[in-house]
């Protein structure tokens, strides 16, 4: 815990050189994961060609916290030395170089939008933003700024030419207009013009010391070009350097699980799955914090994005979208072309555009190397299943309904019932997947046992004994159900499947489990084309 800092001789405002209370609140929280070493990068790119940074990620993934952290570090409206002295950035040589030495503009567009909406002047959003900020600049620099001025870019340009003032500009929720005023193209174009005035095409290259903007969507495209193509963009499709700052890393979550007595393997199943080249395992920070503090793993996603939002996009029902989602519910991956997405909530041309939007909203994870998407974890899978159960997805509803019966029949070793129910799933989903290989069979099994995730951690290709067990169902804590090891065979004998489990000693990986282990062999014959 850090002491709240007193106001001293410096001047601070709501937008111009703000205080550090927002970041102080984050640091004072029961769970705070230190990401301050990110500041080393922003220090490095300041006053360079790389000084324009746009970071987009889903709600509750720490966007605002990072923005407040940068404001607390750079703003000369506060003294943050004590606040940062025990954090990672304090260990870096450049720590003191820019600490509270810079003029900062901090704009929360979501907050501005809520104010003008409450006043009934939504059509004056850009006018309100500029007059409010110019008012504070006039208080700070009365000899250079006329409080009646209406163009913020012009005021900043004058401050540079007359007083050599340069600013760090931090904009949080920059894209909320494109998300919440989806059809107001006039407001969107006015806002893009405003941003261009701040960041592109004139004196901005001189009065901007650093620009850091955050949102959910990447910067809006017009045709094939970004509206602000001088920005380096770091998004859920390509996070680059910022990958480890998108959310919590595996090491950070493991440490939290140890501290709070939670099962790391179960945390992985629930919240792991966001994959980037420089950070292959990233977790949703909000869900991790909620699960640690409550002592229960569960679905906290409904507090970040509503079910109705996901349902609305899926029900647009572009050709092939439903089949892709069912495939991913079975653990499959789908190829995707992210290039045509226009970075807004309305300009959809095909299922790839919808799935790309779902990547940016956090509902899907994108593997950049393979250009494929998948459902990242159990928390998000529950959201998709909710859509399925309440929509016109008859085949999938039948699969979900029969899944619990299948698990019960498996535990009771009722072979005929198990075989018939797996065959039913196979037939219901044959049109969706290519079923002439073992990997597709794995998707069938994952779909068939989809309700088992309530009681089990499901692990595909689990290292065990002398090879990899195809699927292992590991009971969650306090469950009295047996562990299940499944070996899949395509066009081969059932006896061979069980024999392989025993021969390669797949149960070895479960030797610390201590309970009953059920061995299951599944073999399906190739479907003829005639």
378/422 same-domain check: no
- The yes-or-no verdict on residue 426 having pLDDT over 90 is no
Rounded-to-integer distance, Cα 228 and Cα 196, Å: 7
Torsions phi, psi of 99, nearest 5?
A: -60, 110
pLDDT for the residue numbered 409: 92
Ranges 260-264, 415-419, 426-430, 459-463, most confident: 260-264
Rounded-to-integer distance, Cα 128 and Cα 118, Å: 13
Rounded-to-integer distance, Cα 146 and Cα 53, Å: 30
Percentage of the chain beyond pLDDT 90 is 52
Mean pLDDT of the 471-479 span: 82
163/263 same-domain check: no
Find the largest Cα–Cα distance for the chain. Answer: 89
Q: What pTM was computed for the model?
A: 0.88
Cβ(518)–Cβ(411) below 8 Å: yes
CATH number at residue 454: 3.40.1350
C-alpha dihedral, 462 to 467 to 470 to 471, nearest 10°: -30
pLDDT for the residue numbered 170: 98
Cβ(316)–Cβ(391) below 8 Å: no
71/219 same-domain check: yes
Rounded-to-integer distance, Cα 471 and Cα 271, Å: 19
- The full 3-state SS of 328-355, as one line of letters, equals HHCCCCEECCCCCCCCCCCCCCCHHHHH
180, 211, 234 - which closes a domain: 234
Per-residue pLDDT tens for 213-226?
Answer: 999 999 877 655 56
406/359 same-domain check: no
Q: Which two tokens stand for residue 45?
A: 């790119």
- The yes-or-no verdict on residue 8 having pLDDT over 50 is no
User: Residue 237, SS3?
Assistant: coil
- The yes-or-no verdict on residue 273 having pLDDT over 70 is yes
Rounded-to-integer distance, Cα 427 and Cα 446, Å: 14
Cβ(6)–Cβ(52) below 8 Å: no
pLDDT for the residue numbered 372: 94
- The yes-or-no verdict on residue 362 having pLDDT over 60 is yes
Element at 264 (helix H, strand E): helix 264-271
Rounded-to-integer distance, Cα 130 and Cα 153, Å: 9
Mean pLDDT of the 139-166 span: 94
Mean pLDDT of the 20-44 span: 96
234, 265, 289 - which closes a domain: 234
Residue 4 maps to a domain:
no
Indicate the range of 35-49, 139-153, 382-396, 450-464 predicted with least confidence.
Answer: 450-464
124/208 same-domain check: yes
Mean pLDDT of the 291-297 span: 96
329/444 same-domain check: no
Q: Which domain holds residue 228?
A: 21-234
334/263 same-domain check: yes
- Alpha helix stretches (DSSP H) within 342-437: 351-360, 378-389, 394-411, 415-428
Mean pLDDT of the 339-350 span: 88
pLDDT for the residue numbered 493: 61
194, 213, 234 - which closes a domain: 234
251/341 same-domain check: yes
β-strand pairing of 274-276 with 279-283:
antiparallel
Q: How many domains does the chain have?
A: 3
125/223 same-domain check: yes
Per-residue pLDDT tens for 164-203?
Answer: 999 999 999 999 998 889 889 899 889 999 999 999 867 6
Ranges 28-32, 307-311, 315-319, 367-371, most confident: 28-32
C-alpha dihedral, 251 to 282 to 20 to 191, nearest 10°: 170
* Crossing angle for the helix pair 394-411 and 321-329, to the nearest 10 degrees: 10
Residue 14 maps to a domain:
no
363/383 same-domain check: yes
Per-residue pLDDT tens for 482-518?
Answer: 888 887 776 666 565 566 666 666 566 666 666 788 8
Three-point CA angle 228, 101, 97, nearest 5°: 95
54/198 same-domain check: yes
pLDDT for the residue numbered 9: 34
- The yes-or-no verdict on residue 439 having pLDDT over 60 is yes
Mean pLDDT across the chain, nearest whole number? 86
Cβ(162)–Cβ(144) below 8 Å: yes
Half-sphere exposure of 18 (CA within 13 A, CB side): 23
pLDDT for the residue numbered 84: 97
Cβ(16)–Cβ(133) below 8 Å: yes
Rounded-to-integer distance, Cα 105 and Cα 162, Å: 18
CA 208 to chain centre: 29
215/289 same-domain check: no
């Amino acid at each position: 815990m850090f002491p709240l800092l007193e106001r001293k001789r410096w001047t601070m405002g709501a937008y111009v050189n703000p205080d550090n209370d927002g970041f102080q609140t984050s640091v004072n929280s029961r769970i705070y994961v230190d990401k301050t070493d990110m500041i080393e990068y922003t220090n490095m790119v300041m006053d360079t060609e790389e000084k324009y940074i746009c970071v987009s990620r889903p709600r509750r993934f720490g966007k605002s916290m990072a923005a407040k952290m940068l404001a607390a570090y750079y703003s000369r409206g506060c003294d943050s030395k004590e606040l940062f002295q025990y954090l990672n950035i304090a260990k870096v040589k450049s720590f003191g170089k820019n600490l509270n030495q810079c003029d900062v503009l901090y704009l929360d567009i979501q907050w501005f939008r809520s104010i003008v909406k409450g006043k009934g002047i939504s059509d004056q959003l850009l006018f309100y933003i500029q007059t409010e900020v110019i008012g504070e600049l006039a208080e700070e620099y009365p000899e250079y700024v006329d409080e009646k001025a209406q163009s913020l870019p012009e005021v900043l340009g004058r401050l540079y030419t007359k007083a050599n003032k340069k600013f760090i500009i931090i904009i949080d929720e920059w894209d909320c207009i494109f998300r919440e005023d989806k059809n107001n193209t006039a407001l969107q174009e006015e806002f893009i013009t405003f941003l261009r005035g701040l960041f592109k095409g004139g004196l901005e290259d001189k009065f901007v010391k650093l620009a850091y903007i955050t949102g959910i969507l990447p910067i809006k495209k017009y045709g094939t070009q970004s509206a602000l193509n001088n920005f380096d963009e770091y998004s859920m499709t390509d996070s680059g350097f910022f990958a480890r700052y998108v959310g919590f890393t595996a090491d950070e979550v493991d440490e939290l699980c140890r501290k709070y007595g939670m099962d790391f393997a179960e945390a992985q199943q629930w919240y792991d799955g966001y994959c980037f080249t420089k950070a292959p395992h990233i977790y949703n920070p909000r869900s991790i914090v909620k699960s640690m503090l409550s002592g229960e793993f569960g679905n906290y996603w409904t507090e970040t994005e509503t079910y109705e939002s996901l349902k609305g996009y899926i029900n647009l029902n572009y050709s092939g979208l439903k089949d892709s989602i069912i495939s991913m519910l079975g653990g499959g991956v789908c190829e995707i072309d992210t290039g045509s997405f226009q970075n807004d909530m309305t300009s959809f041309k095909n299922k790839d555009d919808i799935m790309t939007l779902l990547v940016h909203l956090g509902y899907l994870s994108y593997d950049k190397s393979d250009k494929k998407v998948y459902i990242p974890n159990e928390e998000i899978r529950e959201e998709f299943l909710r859509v399925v159960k309440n929509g016109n997805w008859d085949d999938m509803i039948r699969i979900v309904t029969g899944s619990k019966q299948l698990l019960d029949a498996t535990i009771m070793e009722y072979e005929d019932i198990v075989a018939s129910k797996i065959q039913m799933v196979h037939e219901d989903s044959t049109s969706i997947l290519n079923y002439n290989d073992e990997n597709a069979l794995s998707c069938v099994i994952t779909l068939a046992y989809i309700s088992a995730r309530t009681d089990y951690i499901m692990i595909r290709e689990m290292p065990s004994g002398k090879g990899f067990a195809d699927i292992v169902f590991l009971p969650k804590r306090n469950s009295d159900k047996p562990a299940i090891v499944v070996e899949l065979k395509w066009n081969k004998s059932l006896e061979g499947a069980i024999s392989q489990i025993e021969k390669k000693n797949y149960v070895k990986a479960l030797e610390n489990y201590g309970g009953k282990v059920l061995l299951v062999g599944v073999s399906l014959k190739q479907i003829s084309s005639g």
